[in-house]
Structure 1
Amino acid sequence: MTSKREQVLDAAIELLGTKGSRGLTHRGVDEIAAMPTGSTSNYFRTRETLLAGVAGRLVERDHADWDQLGQLPTPQTAAELIDSAVALLMHSLGPERTRTAARYALFLEAAATEELQAPLLEARQGLVTWVVGMMATVSKQPEIDAPILMDYLDGAILHQLTMPVADFDPRPRITHLVTSLL
């Protein structure tokens, strides 16, 4: 069951992912969470503590996703790795688009808010470790290839979030990248 604190943070993620950084206010979070005015500030007094809370909640939710995805079979071939990368990218832009947009807004906030950099870097390291493990059976150098693939996916997601292409098909480029890496 979700606690009130988690409800506040999930509402903040929703707001950050739909209205951007400028739209993230304590009052706005209260409205999205359907809580009395002042509820968010009871948990997070300042904008910085709210942003840090959002960073932590994103990590929690991402770990839950990784745990679910970790139960899927590890890719055994380049084709299976391509399928996984395409599925992850499309999931980030489809069902998880709002959370993905919130994450990217948080990345930009981290450029100016040093306190956000450490938790985001830690989350990134956890994701790199997971992807390295996922690529271990198909790559001779997964420690090198995984961050390259992840950086491409980050860039493709960012471009599709900010400058969407109607008939977006990431498969040809991901196929080219993965086959080049492997």
Structure 2
Amino acid sequence: MRTNPERRRALVDAAIEVLARDGARGLTFRAVDVAASVPVGTASNYFSNRDDLLTQAGGRIYERLLPDDATMAQSRSGTQDRAKYAELMHELVERITAFNTGFLALLELRLEATRRPALRSVLTERVRQDMEVNVAYHAASGLPGDADAVIMLYMALNWLIVDRLTLPDLLTPERSRELVSILVERLVPEG
């Protein structure tokens, strides 16, 4: 297996684009090579098999969805109240929908995980870790609400994002934003 980290990252990023565009069944080494603009056969030198490529694509999506340092600093500044909570949820929705191919690829991976126990295990652990990190961050932040509110918002906002990306004419961006505010208002206590 080749070890050039930049090339591997470019191939995994190309795999994400292929997953979003063509679905899991369209994810082949050749399709990744074409999407990455590399010679045919390159992807097969970096990944032992298709499962390896699927798993690494799933991990890379989560890396790319993480907030940057400036966003994290902003989340810690100011009064930690329900208004701040809503601001953070709006930022989250916008950040995730801005990487639409990543989220769509993640949906493809989740569907594929219903048929691939190893992938299901990897994604289950990754999502579990993501939820635990979010709950722990929330507990340390001083924001109002509890772990249940964090998890319920996680679940609700994921589906709102699915609708925004797959059925963009269902709700206007303004209505989606309004619904995020309503969710926070109803799930998070004032003080």
Q: TM-score, structure 1 length as denominator?
A: 0.86
Indicate yes or no: 2:85 matched with 1:93: no
Tell me how far 1:153 sits from its aligned partner.
0.8
Contact 1:82 1:174 in 2 (8 A): yes
Q: Per-residue displacement from partner, 1:102-145 (whole Å, max 9, x unpaired)?
A: 1111111111111112222222223223322443323342x211
Q: Which of 16, 32, 35 does residue 35 from structure 2 map onto?
A: 32
Bigger mean CA offset, 146-155 vs 101-110: 101-110
1:171 equivalent to 2:186? Answer: no
Asked if the contact 1:110–1:117 (Cα under 8 Å) also holds between the matched residues in 2, the reply is: yes
Aligned length: 178
Q: Does 2:144 match 1:139?
A: yes
Say if 1:17 and 1:99, in contact at 8 Å, map to a contact too. yes
Q: Distance in 1 between matches of 2:63 and 2:124?
A: 14
Larger deviation: 42-51 or 3-12?
42-51
The Cα of 1:67 is off from its aligned counterpart by 5.4
What amino acid is aligned across from residue 84 of structure 1 in structure 2? L
In the TM superposition, residue 2 of structure 1 has moved relative to its aligned partner by: 5.2
Show structure 2 runs of 5+ residues with no match. none
Runs of 4+ in 1 over 6 A off after TM superposition: none
Q: Which residue of 1 aligns with 2:75?
A: 73
Amino acid at match of 1:18: R
1:148 equivalent in alignment to 2:152: yes
Aligned-residue CA RMSD in angstroms? Answer: 2.1
TM-score by length of 2: 0.82
| From 7, 21, 24, the counterpart of 1:21 | 24
1:139 is paired with a residue of what secondary structure?
Answer: coil
Unmatched 5+ residue regions in structure 1?
A: none
